[in-house]
Amino acid sequence: MKTFKISAVILLILVVLLEIFVFKTETVKQIQKPIVSVSSFSLYDITKHIAGDSVSVVNILPFGTDPHSFELTPKIMADIENSQLVLYSGAGLEPWVDKITFKSKVIDMSQYVRLRKIGSHEFEHHEHHDKQCAHNEEDPHYWLDFSNMEILVNVITKELSAIEPKNSGFYEENKIAYIKMLHKLDRNYKKYLSECKIDTVILNHNSLGYLAQKYGFHSESLSGLSPETDPSPKDVKRILEEIKKDGVTTIFYENFVNAKLMKAISKDSDVSADVIQPLGNITADEAEANATYEELMYKNLEKLSKAMLCH
């Protein structure tokens, strides 16, 4: 009996030691994973889908944070410093980039995509409101163009393969699947926005220019490209006139803005007000639900189709 107890104790010790060894091994593996830091939800979504668990993806812009008022913290700067690759949106969206001395490879992703030039009417309105804004005459919301997203997918797959060559086949398979998803999104947007009774979408700020240009509707905004600007009484009057002229039934605002004025306009005009997701960042609740670019873009399509009375 005594021998049995000793054997049981020894077996227990061996099991504990084995668990400790496995835990330490897994911890070391996690620590040894390459770190890739990204500055926007679209870049995060692509990288996570292509890389899977082969790299640690650091989201520089925490979920639930307004991308227009974001400021770096010491922790985020440390994460960036430990990264082997840093991907940021560019096109004037991240003025904080100039405050960092990067030790790793850093890529301005806007250099690869087709940026939409702001029209003369848009630029006059943008310039009036956004004199302190980091934007220029190019629309920075380029991830809402699925062809631009495909370009980003190709670039990110190539960069991940350079970091982890042994996983290049895995990355290529995931790239193909992601691009198929983007093509399907494009087909559905064309299908469901092709015949609409209303051709105007009104927003708090001009974030849907790429979608409007590609799928043949007009987007009008209370402010310019930045949601932080304060609209003038003239802007409010202009939007009220647009709602009446175009027969608009729904106006949109974003999660990270003060929607008080848009809701007041909604009430005064007797139209609905709803949230649209331009995907500069996602909310904490969306992150908790593991929301994806695909899922959120389909929700946007459903809302746009309903607002414009599309068939």
**What pLDDT digit, counting tens, does each position of 15-52 carry?**
545 555 544 444 444 458 999 999 999 999 999 999 99
The domain in which residue 77 lies consists of 34-188
What pTM value is reported for the model? 0.83
Whether residue 52 is contained in a domain is answered as yes
Q: How far is residue 213's CA from residue 144's CA, in Å, rounded to a whole number?
A: 11
Whether residue 59 is contained in a domain is answered as yes
pLDDT for residue 127 is more than 70: no
End-to-end CA distance of the chain: 80
246 and 225 in contact (C-beta within 8 Å)?
Answer: no
Q: How far is residue 133's CA from residue 93's CA, in Å, rounded to a whole number?
A: 9
Split into its structural domains, the chain has a count of 2
- Please state the rounded mean pLDDT for residues 263-270: 93
* pLDDT at residue 6, as a whole number: 57
* pLDDT at residue 92, as a whole number: 87
Q: Which residue, of 165, 188, 211, is where some domain finishes?
A: 188
Q: Which residue, of 133, 162, 188, is where some domain finishes?
A: 188
Whether residue 54 is contained in a domain is answered as yes
Does residue 145 sit in the same domain as residue 265?
A: no
Does residue 163 sit in the same domain as residue 268?
A: no
* pLDDT at residue 32, as a whole number: 81
Does residue 74 sit in the same domain as residue 182?
A: yes
Whether residue 24 is contained in a domain is answered as no
Does residue 41 sit in the same domain as residue 123?
A: yes
Whether residue 2 is contained in a domain is answered as no
Where residue 58 sits, what CATH number does that domain have?
A: 3.40.50.1980
pLDDT for residue 134 is more than 50: no
Does residue 46 sit in the same domain as residue 123?
A: yes
